[in-house]
Structure 1
Amino acid sequence: MAWNEPGGNDNKNDPWKNRGNKDQGPPDLDDVLKNIFGKFGKGGGSGGGSGANLTGKGIGIVAVLAVVIYVLSGFYTIKEAERGVILRFGEFHSLAQPGLQWKLTFIDNVIPVNVQSIRNQASSGSMLTEDENMVSVEMEVQYRVFDPQQWVFAVVNPEQSLSQAFDSAIRYVVGHSKMDDVLTEGREVARQRVLEELQGIIAPYAMGVDIIDLNFTNARPPEQVRAAFDDAIAAQEDEQRFIREAEAYQRAIEPEARGRVNRMNEEAQAYKERSILEAQGEVARFEELLPQYVAAPEVTRQRIYLETLESVFMNTSKIMVDTEGGGNLMYLPLDKIMDQRDTSRQTINRNSTSFEEIRDRVNNSPNATPLINNNPRNDSSGRQGRN
């Protein structure tokens, strides 16, 4: 029977002391060393000087192994994004740079701190606003550690301390803001105020933290009144939309109105100047007629009368005749005269001379009633007939 079989008698001589358990692995290194030291102790008691030499060699081997194990156990690695905070007997000693490093085991302790990655810290809760309304706020802060020594030694638990400072800043700002400012258009202002308040809180602690950014994750009213708040927000959005539409309409209609005003001003100015010029022309015309009227009042009066009739009946084909004086009826082809009026308007000068020529032409025509009676005695009858 083999020495390592379960029923054998040589199980006591098994160097690994499995004692019949084939699944048992090798013993610990401490048990092997104890067995070796035990054998060396027994040999020293029976062998005299040779035992002492053997014991001394064993101690030297053990010492060398211990030194090798101690040296190997001191090697460690710091990652590229980390810095190692070296503590010697619990006190800060130095910073370890990235790469393979060595420390004094049981004397130095190394705490790796990531100084490049952006860390996130979230906070949420129900808070009371300045106008005594309850809102649920969720915010998130992003930060980076730039001083590993301050991050480790400034406070006991830096992450928890930063979280508490973040909660305090949010509650302070929300408590000093109105609900509409937190939920709608004032969120950016509230975010900036929370960031400034957080930086002011952590500044005295010198935690070695740089705040990168801070964002509103969510801000909403309590679930019980959320529908009413949604309607109110929708009404505010409609109000802003109507205001923008009114401003757009104002910008579109204002230039047109200004154009109409300018056009009316120009037309009024032109009408004013035209009226003034017409009045001045009338005054000048009457001033020219005044000497003629003083020299020959009756002739001037007749001429003015006939010019007035000419201007009145210029656009009509009706004929007015004087039947009180008797005589033959004179027919004037006024329709043909009116057709020729447009072609002869530029050549006929409407002054006293042209009128006299027309008068003489009419008076010299046969079977025509004179327009103006040259006999002064019949002037009164002629005027009465015309009137």
Structure 2
Amino acid sequence: MAWNEPGNNGGRDKDPWGNDNRGGREQGPPDLDEVFSKLSRKFGGVFGNKKGPSTGGSAAGLGVVAVLAAAVWGVSGFYTIGEAERGVVLRFGQYHDTVMPGLNWKATFIDQVTPVNVQAIRSLSSSGLMLTKDENVVQVEMDVQYRVSDPEKYLYSVTNADSSLRQATDSALRAVIGDSTMDQALTTGRQEIRTYTQEAIDAIIKNYDMGLLVVDVNFQSARPPEEVKDAFDDVIASREDEVRYLREAEAYRNDILPKATGRAERVRNDAEGYSERVLNGAKGEVAQFEKLLPEYLAAEQVTRDRLYLETMERVYGNTSKVMVDSSSSGNLLYLPLDKLINPEQKASQPKNSTSGNYGIELETVKPTPVTTTPRPDTGRQGRY
């Protein structure tokens, strides 16, 4: 007789996995036929079958249960992958596929999906006391920015890709600092250290195939030990002053050189103009004397007198003084037309009370005798 037959043990039925205590003895494992029969009766009661268990009812109940279970299993397999993510699918614990963003389906209890963000820029920092090539100790800080390039390799090539990248960054940074001097790490070699560190990190990532891509490496700071920090600060300040002075000198040079070049060009042009003017004037005078030479040779005395008179005319025409011969007698009336024509000039001397005209300064000048000297070669008289 089955353990859960009606009326057994005083009508106290146990659940399929319970124990019926019969006189202190434990019952053996439950009968599977009875378990399925009981489940069929329960589902049959839900769907309107209340006449007790039967073979047809049990089959129908099992079918309904199977359909419901299949529907629940199918619906539970739908999932969504974000736009910036990729889904890594494992089937029975082994890599199967990488799915793209959108609505996807997986076999529940068979497939396992892990979404990985491949667009987010991640960051990690590395810092510590490091020994330089010249046996000095510096405090170095560096920040590395990276992202996931291959989700499968990121998850399963190494145990922890982020931790492995942190260790690779620390190792690469220590190697680069160890090949640099303290002066380079603090001042001039910061850009080179940044470049070499990124190259070393890329090489390590390539060897370990981590599925990561380094976007940027920032060399944040490098500080000397506190005991010598003040001295190094003075060195850095002096170098910054040197760079500033050089830039100021270059700016001053760029401002002065064009002006000096312009002035030099102007002076050179003025000199060339003056040279051409003097040369042309000299050539004109030479040409004038060459034209005058035949006349002088034809009539020397007449030519000298004419030159003298023309010269005196030019000289007297440029002066305001009136010169008369002392041999002449009588009063000379002079009307200063130049002062009357030009109102800006005023007479500086008082009026003559005797003649009523403006007073003028008179000088007596004796005519300069013209002398000639004979030429030694031809016997002709030379020019004055």
Bin of the TM-score, shorter chain as denominator length = 0.5 to 0.7
In structure 2, what is the equivalent of residue 271 of structure 1? 274
SS of aligned partner of 2:200: helix
In structure 1, what is the equivalent of residue 299 of structure 2? 296
In structure 2, what is the equivalent of residue 328 of structure 1? 328
In structure 1, what is the equivalent of residue 87 of structure 2? 83
In structure 2, what is the equivalent of residue 154 of structure 1? 157
Letter in 1 for 2:35: G
Matches within 5 A, 1:42-191: 42=22, 56-58=33-35, 80=82, 81=85, 83-86=87-90, 88=92, 91-95=94-98, 101-104=106-109, 113-184=116-187, 186-191=189-194
Equivalent residues of 1:78, 1:96 under 8 A apart = no
SS of aligned partner of 1:143: strand
Matches within 5 A, 1:354-373: none
Unaligned stretches of 5+ residues in structure 1: 1-14, 16-30, 343-367, 374-378, 381-386
Alpha-carbon offset, residue 371 of structure 1: 6.5
Q: Percent identity?
A: 42
Alpha-carbon offset, residue 237 of structure 1: 2.5
1: CA distance, partners of 2:105 / 2:139: 49
**CA offsets per residue over residues 134-191 of structure 1, 9 Å max, x none?**
3322112122223232123322332232112111222233333444544446534432
In structure 2, what is the equivalent of residue 210 of structure 1? 213
TM-score, normalised on structure 1? Answer: 0.62
Alpha-carbon offset, residue 271 of structure 1: 0.9
1: CA distance, partners of 2:213 / 2:219: 19
Alpha-carbon offset, residue 299 of structure 1: 2.1
TM-score, normalised on structure 2? Answer: 0.62
1: CA distance, partners of 2:319 / 2:335: 9
Letter in 2 for 1:328: S
SS of aligned partner of 1:123: strand
Equivalent residues of 2:88, 2:98 under 8 A apart = yes
Alpha-carbon offset, residue 307 of structure 1: 3.2
Alpha-carbon offset, residue 57 of structure 1: 1.2
SS of aligned partner of 2:120: coil
1: CA distance, partners of 2:337 / 2:320: 10
Equivalent residues of 1:329, 1:369 under 8 A apart = no
- Alpha-carbon RMSD across the aligned residues, in angstroms, is 4.7
Please, which moves more after superposition, 171-180 or 195-204? 171-180
Please, which moves more after superposition, 271-280 or 150-159? 150-159
Letter in 2 for 1:58: V
2: CA distance, partners of 1:46 / 1:130: 80
1: CA distance, partners of 2:199 / 2:222: 19
1: CA distance, partners of 2:335 / 2:254: 57
1: CA distance, partners of 2:221 / 2:314: 87
**CA offsets per residue over residues 43-65 of structure 1, 9 Å max, x none?**
9x999xxx999774137779x99
Please, which moves more after superposition, 116-125 or 93-102? 93-102
Higher helix proportion: 1
Unaligned stretches of 5+ residues in structure 2: 1-11, 40-61, 343-363, 372-383
2: CA distance, partners of 1:117 / 1:287: 98
Equivalent residues of 1:134, 1:221 under 8 A apart = yes
> For the structure 1 residues 117 and 282, does the alpha-carbon distance in structure 2 shift closer, same or farther, using more than 3 Å as the test?
closer
In structure 2, what is the equivalent of residue 250 of structure 1? 253
Work out which of the residue numbers 235, 238, 241 in structure 2 matches 1:232: 235
Aligned pairs, number? 306
**CA offsets per residue over residues 305-325 of structure 1, 9 Å max, x none?**
3333444454444566676xx
Please, which moves more after superposition, 91-100 or 260-269? 91-100
Alpha-carbon offset, residue 278 of structure 1: 0.9
1: CA distance, partners of 2:161 / 2:29: 58
Alpha-carbon offset, residue 269 of structure 1: 1.6
